Amino acid sequence: MRSPAIFFLFLGLIALGEPVSVTPILSIPQVPRYFEWVLGAIENAEEEILIMLSDCRRYARPSRVNTLLDALAEAAGRGVQVKVLLERRDEIPPEEEAAFAYLEKNGIEVRWDDPESTLHAKLLVFDRTEVVLGSTPWTYNGLFESVQVDFAVRSPTAAQTFRRFFGFLWEGRYRVEPRLGEAKAPALIPLPEFPEGEALHLEVAARLLEEARKEIDLCLYMLRRYPWDSPVNRLTDALISAAARGVRVRVLLEGGESWMEPDFASDAREVATYLLLHGVEARFDPPGSTLHAKFLVVDGEDLLVSSANWAYYSLIKNVEAGVALLGTPALGSILADFFEALWAQARPLP
């Protein structure tokens, strides 16, 4: 039985005056910025590495993905405490089993998550000072063949929040209730999402959309709208309401590649059509790569970067990790330019 815990959360880090450094890590096929950044962070770690991943693989054939696991083994060998928490699937792929076994063999504490939950987060915490989170799993496709967006956040307070998040899940304590307070810009708000908790991502994303004045750019692997009264529909409703009041709203989605389930492409087309009919611009990424990033830019200065798709299970049932940044135009400009480049290559609905 899961043990209960209460975890209250309110962070407006920049507003409170703590020095915070945030670096966008923007990866595209064959330009693996995340891989390079994380490898360097592992090699430079001195005391502790905490890792939570939805997918982590070790390949029998030579692969650069294996380099990350080798670096973790080397870190453990020089005395760094390394803990890794992985998603337990009903049927675990052999490459995931191999990754688990390799880590365990090399003296790393590694566990599968609670089988009753879905761990979809991609979260790393280094030396109690730096957090890396976003959309990138440790697979070949995820690291080298996909569009991904992650943030590296250097802040002891943010790191403490996500260390506590990791600690609860490591011990199997899933009944946790983070609480959002009011944050005035500029601010950084960590979003540690527990299953069936307070739906932090949903609440923060809805607030950002509902308060948008000029422009909304949204990039997602998956966006869904449901025929029943789902809380997730608040987000598509907010996109449509923003467009109706004169905000330019653009939504860029993964359109569904040939290897995906057939329903994925049809569901993506359905929600994109619905948005188009209600005044929202919508496009799909070009075929041949995977758009796996999840990020939102509102009015060029309010941002959300996360592991979470905008679907019911993602926002209500899953373990996810994200961060919102308010009143940060310099970072907003970087993400807006990245979105613009993706949008220029995207394709309208057929």
Which residue bears the tokens 């135009």?
Answer: 329
Which residue bears the tokens 């928490």?
Answer: 85
Q: Which pLDDT score, from 0 to 100, does residue 259 have?
A: 57
Residue 309 contacts residue 235 (beta carbons within 8 Å): no
CA atoms of 10 and 143, how far apart (whole Å): 32
CB atoms within 10 A of CB 285: 25
H or E segment at 207? helix 200-210
Of 306, 7, 18, 23, nearest to 187 (Cα)? 18
Q: Which pLDDT score, from 0 to 100, does residue 134 have?
A: 99
CA atoms of 15 and 19, how far apart (whole Å): 10
Domains and CATH numbers, the chain: 21-172+184-345 (3.30.870.10)
Low-confidence ranges of the chain (pLDDT < 70): 1-18, 179, 181, 257-260
CA atoms of 4 and 216, how far apart (whole Å): 38
* E runs forming strands in 34-129: 48-53, 81-86, 109-112, 118-119, 122-126
Residue type, 29: P
Q: Which pLDDT score, from 0 to 100, does residue 240 have?
A: 99
CA atoms of 222 and 293, how far apart (whole Å): 10
CA atoms of 42 and 87, how far apart (whole Å): 21
CA atoms of 241 and 250, how far apart (whole Å): 13
